[in-house]
Structure 1
Amino acid sequence: MTKPIDPVDLTARLVRCASVTPAEGGALVLLERVLSDAGFTCTRVDRGGVCNLFARWGAKGAARSFGFNGHTDVVPVGDEAAWTHDPFGAEIVDGYLYGRGATDMKSGVAAFAAAAVDFVRDTPPDGAIILAITGDEEGPALDGTTALLDWMAAEGEAMRACIVGEPTCVETMGDMIKIGRRGSMTAHITVTGKQGHSAYPHRALNPLPAMARLMDRLASHTLDAGTDHFDPSTLAIVTIDTGNPATNVIPAQVRASVNIRFNDTHTGASLTAWLQSEIDAVQAEFGVTITQDTKVSGEAFLTPPGALSKLISDAVHAETGNTPEMSTTGGTSDARFVKDHCAVVECGLVGKRMHQVDERVPVADIATLKAIYTRILRAYFSQP
């Protein structure tokens, strides 16, 4: 009988791969070997210098196809001298596995890979299991999961439902899953006037009062009151800068940036239009020129509570005793791309130590996560 895959050992081996975005670091090579040995058909879907891995067990185009999505790239270590343990050593101390990416999200990848391998070996399902793993979630995310989904569409590969294995819990295993995410966008705004001597302000056109008025209008505006599944949208002013070291010069330009986290009341396009209307009003009032350069990182989305979220919630409760809150809080994840392909829910570890110095995860939680994923697969493929 084949020995089950130990998700803790697989996590440790992945952590030892120094896969800081965009370096592959050997992590996808390791996973491809593990999955290929278990009968998965593996394909590297590299694009734009980014390494990605697609793996499928079962028939292409199967009517029932369950997917997992995750990433093996990690954020930089930062000050390595501040770490108590080697950030790529995967040391286990007092029940914790230490290392960059231990929480976000090599444990999640190891858990769903181990669950998938053991499941198809023990109970070959009537259908397909797909793993879509990227090396570009922590970076620009232009050639990661999007590249995998583009390739899948071209090749006729499809997931009918998907779990993104990002950390989702707040304090204890099983206390939260994500059924959606807020949208995110950043607007870079430039106000241009006319430079002049501060002793003769009538000979200049100061852009600063216009910027101050605009920022006040934006920050004072209530975008919405929230929805059934989302908190109210927020706008944060993140920088205002003139680059002017002189106190006797009125600058010609001032720049500012705002970040908006928005719910499904809005779209990136509707908020861009609202920003432009505010810009137009201030521009007319002050006689300056104002431009915006806006980037939408992801639209708000929701997978309404239903069959998929119940299946996952039931599995989490069975393994942890917790009934998870169905949340849409937090930043963005690659679920924002997967949602255009199929129904998607995020379910993973406790995330409070991700990206920190001495990032670590309880080894017991890794085993629990594998058990949750295994129970989900059994439940999904046992349905009529």
Structure 2
Amino acid sequence: MSVDPAALTADLIRCPSVTPEEGGAIALLDRLLSEAGFTCTRTDRGGIANLHARWGGLGNGRVFGFNGHTDVVPTGPREDWTHDPFGAEIVDGVMYGRGACDMKSGVAAFAAAAIDFVRDTPPDGAVVLTITGDEEADGVHGTAAILDWMAANGERMDVCLVGEPTCPDTMGEMIKIGRRGSVTAYFTATGVQGHSAYPHRAKNPLPAMMRLMDRLASRELDRGNDHFDPSTLAITTVDTGNPASNVIPGACRATVNIRFNDTHSAESLIGWLREETEAVAKDTGIRIGIETKITGESFLTPPGALSDLVGRAVEAETGVTPVLSTTGGTSDARFVKDLCPVVEFGLVGRTMHKADECVEVAHIHQLKTIYGRILKDYFA
């Protein structure tokens, strides 16, 4: 009997798996895939639930992999939702719930497609599903943990498709073949607090911080290239925590986030940030500290066999020729790319992370059909 991906999506939505809670979602998939003949291994780490599921032996056959996540972001205020965030209610052909778009529907579609495919047309090779409960957070104990387990146990994927929602507005319009990297920098400027009427007795850190922020924000990092848009730097906060108008603050803090293409590395950008910080500190006499966090490096899977395979299947099932893109934020493809070629394709992402997140039920079925065609064509 064919697996209904919409029903599976609804079951997953009803699992309240807000990171880092498993909520029953990984356990549900473990049972379903085990019953379908997949060898399932929980690769939990750091309090995060993860699942590796493989049908078929490794041997010399090809291995097609899917990757996705069952964890979701918090719902926010319940009163902002028209429908129960964990109810999976269907109204006029649309299913509502946290994770409906990002990305329990994607996981349901590729799990259903994989189960049907290996049952109906057992391939000369293996199908691997890697499913994590830690994508919406830092991902340290999510897909990275699964890949570490795979390396230690001789498991592999020759290619991988991540089922993130990739289409901006229309089903089938976009495949992701890479992602920009992300670096966040946290600055603290320290001076001397004082009365605003006697500024000579204080040392105001704000002008130095403003000068540094202006220098960073005014810099053109690059102009993009054939596959990537220009890199960007956004100032996301400047804060003194000072409620008084007659007090010069003793310290202030600021944060910037850089989304960068393959013209740069995280290391090169951090070097530039430190040089600018040191220059402003020297000019102003204000001590400025900097801490950085790397979320991921930029990467590109060059257009070729994998993107062609996915693109043909998408066009055959939707009538839409997808564009190849590297836009958007980070995804777990940033980990998978160290193992094998990886691309991303999934649903329309307009409502992800929003109140009343939703998905068209017809699109879930269509996505399963696309994934099934990809498997059939890959092993043909």
The residue correspondences of 1:325-340 to structure 2 (distance < 5 A) are: 325-340=323-338
**Correspondence 1:155 to 2:153:** yes
What's 2:234 paired with? 236
What's 2:301 paired with? 303
For residues 168 and 246 of structure 2, the distance between their equivalents in structure 1, rounded to whole angstroms, comes to 51
Q: Bigger CA drift: 308-317 or 69-78?
A: 69-78
What's 2:347 paired with? 349
Q: Deviations over 1:158-214 (max 9, x none)?
A: 000000000000111100010001111110001112222322222222211111111
What's 2:311 paired with? 313
For residues 135 and 126 of structure 1, the distance between their equivalents in structure 2, rounded to whole angstroms, comes to 30
SS in 1 for 2:66: strand
Q: Bigger CA drift: 224-233 or 74-83?
A: 74-83
What's 1:172 paired with? 170
Tell me by how many angstroms 1:82 deviates: 2.7
SS in 2 for 1:53: strand
What's 2:33 paired with? 35
What's 1:253 paired with? 251
Please list every run of 5 or more consecutive structure 1 residues that lacks an aligned counterpart in the other structure.
none
SS in 2 for 1:318: helix
Match of 1:94 among 92, 95, 115: 92
The residue identity in structure 2 corresponding to 1:215 is M
What's 1:120 paired with? 118
Identity of aligned residues (%): 70
The residue identity in structure 2 corresponding to 1:113 is A
Contact 1:170/1:351, CA 8 A, preserved across alignment:
yes
What's 1:17 paired with? 15
Match of 1:145 among 125, 143, 156: 143
Contact 2:227/2:326, CA 8 A, preserved across alignment:
yes
The residue identity in structure 1 corresponding to 2:92 is D
Please list every run of 5 or more consecutive structure 2 residues that lacks an aligned counterpart in the other structure.
none
What's 2:360 paired with? 362
The residue identity in structure 2 corresponding to 1:369 is L
**Correspondence 1:372 to 2:373:** no
Q: Deviations over 1:94-124 (max 9, x none)?
A: 0111111111101100000000000000111
Contact 2:62/2:158, CA 8 A, preserved across alignment:
yes
SS in 2 for 1:377: helix
Tell me by how many angstroms 1:284 deviates: 1.1
Contact 1:182/1:300, CA 8 A, preserved across alignment:
yes
For residues 46 and 354 of structure 1, the distance between their equivalents in structure 2, rounded to whole angstroms, comes to 26
For residues 62 and 120 of structure 1, the distance between their equivalents in structure 2, rounded to whole angstroms, comes to 18
For residues 107 and 207 of structure 1, the distance between their equivalents in structure 2, rounded to whole angstroms, comes to 49
What is the aligned residue count?
Answer: 380
For residues 242 and 91 of structure 1, the distance between their equivalents in structure 2, rounded to whole angstroms, comes to 45
Tell me by how many angstroms 1:145 deviates: 0.4
Contact 1:85/1:99, CA 8 A, preserved across alignment:
yes
**TM-score where L is the length of structure 2:** 0.98
Contact 2:56/2:127, CA 8 A, preserved across alignment:
yes
The residue identity in structure 2 corresponding to 1:175 is E
**Correspondence 1:52 to 2:50:** yes
Contact 1:184/1:260, CA 8 A, preserved across alignment:
yes
Contact 1:58/1:127, CA 8 A, preserved across alignment:
yes
What's 2:379 paired with? 381
The residue correspondences of 1:192-203 to structure 2 (distance < 5 A) are: 192-203=190-201
For residues 227 and 354 of structure 2, the distance between their equivalents in structure 1, rounded to whole angstroms, comes to 29
Contact 1:61/1:156, CA 8 A, preserved across alignment:
no
Contact 2:138/2:295, CA 8 A, preserved across alignment:
no
Structure 1's 257 and 183: CA in aligned 2 closer, same or farther, altered over 3 A? Answer: same
Match of 2:69 among 65, 71, 77: 71
**TM-score where L is the length of structure 1:** 0.97
The residue identity in structure 1 corresponding to 2:377 is A
**Correspondence 1:111 to 2:113:** no
For residues 156 and 319 of structure 1, the distance between their equivalents in structure 2, rounded to whole angstroms, comes to 35
SS in 2 for 1:138: coil
Contact 1:61/1:157, CA 8 A, preserved across alignment:
no
Contact 1:115/1:371, CA 8 A, preserved across alignment:
yes
For residues 256 and 31 of structure 2, the distance between their equivalents in structure 1, rounded to whole angstroms, comes to 44
For residues 281 and 64 of structure 2, the distance between their equivalents in structure 1, rounded to whole angstroms, comes to 52
Contact 1:62/1:128, CA 8 A, preserved across alignment:
no
What's 1:285 paired with? 283
**Correspondence 1:83 to 2:81:** yes
Tell me by how many angstroms 1:61 deviates: 4.8
The residue identity in structure 2 corresponding to 1:309 is S
Q: Deviations over 1:331-377 (max 9, x none)?
A: 11111111111100000000001111111111110011001101100
For residues 352 and 7 of structure 1, the distance between their equivalents in structure 2, rounded to whole angstroms, comes to 20
What's 2:127 paired with? 129
Structure 1's 195 and 61: CA in aligned 2 closer, same or farther, altered over 3 A? Answer: farther
